[in-house]
Amino acid sequence: MNHKILLGVNIDHSATVRQARYRDHPSDRGGEVEPDPMDIALQAQRAGADSITIHLREDRRHVQDSDVIRTKDSIQIPLNLEMAATSEMSRFALKLLPHSIVLVPEGREEVTTEGGLNLLADESRLRHIIDAAKAEGIFVSLFIDADPEQIDAAIRFGTDAVELHTGKFGHAWGTSSYREELEVLKAGAKRAHEGGLFVNAGHGLNYTNIREARTIPWLHEMNIGHSIIARALSTGISEAVREMKVRIDGGP
């Protein structure tokens, strides 16, 4: 289990900042319109990010189609597309052909994704999207809670990986229950690994709780966005990415 954990940098919140001012602007980049998520991705790549994660939501609340396309065409590291399990998003992914996709739940009332997919609710639709993506050589992950039934369903579906939702652990940090949530994640990771899946993790991870989160066994990649973009407001994106890489590797 002594292996390097990869860092996927989620750039969504750079687009959130842009859209707060320029949602109705005729252009999504150039001139006064900033920041440019593609530029943030390139800086993160130069600072050592192992992949770039980007979430194109159905309502286009932050990331726009052009952000995804331009970023995919510009970076030399894998692009990981977070997407709802819908026909529209599936068609977009099959045209884009990113390195990987993560199927996530979406709620219009959410500020950011909260909770994992319920794989038992719509097995036929999920299997269709998974099979179509894998047929095109796209690596497929499912964003789920570390629940044994959900993990077993992911194994049955033939996905490549699961991304364990670490939000409950993140929310519990500083309380007496965070260790309990960590143990749930550790058990889930072990179950997924034994089922032949890659194990990723994401949501609510930051520069403080990463010390404990990195002890989850069999982790392949951590996808982190809000904390890195927030830190970048003080240090710049390059330093924010470098610091997170050091902490994932067990540094101070």
Positions marked active-site: 55, 82, 203
Q: Which amino acid is at 91?
A: R
- Does residue 26 sit in helix, strand or coil? coil
Q: Sort residue 243 into left (φ over 0), alpha (ψ -120 to 50) or beta.
A: alpha
Residue 160 DSSP symbol: S
Paired with 52 in beta bridges are 9, 79
Distance CA 51, CA 222 (A): 10
Nearest residue to 115 (alpha-carbon basis) of 80, 147, 90: 147
Distance CA 1, CA 189 (A): 12
CB atoms within 10 A of CB 127: 15
Angle CA(178)–CA(181)–CA(186) in degrees, nearest 5?
A: 125
Q: Are 244 and 251 contacting, i.e. CB atoms less than 8 angstroms apart?
A: no
Judge residue 23's burial from the number of C-beta atoms within 10 Å of its C-beta, 0-12 exposed, 13-18 middle, 19 or more buried: exposed
Nearest residue to 63 (alpha-carbon basis) of 11, 2, 104, 114: 11
Q: Are 91 and 132 contacting, i.e. CB atoms less than 8 angstroms apart?
A: no
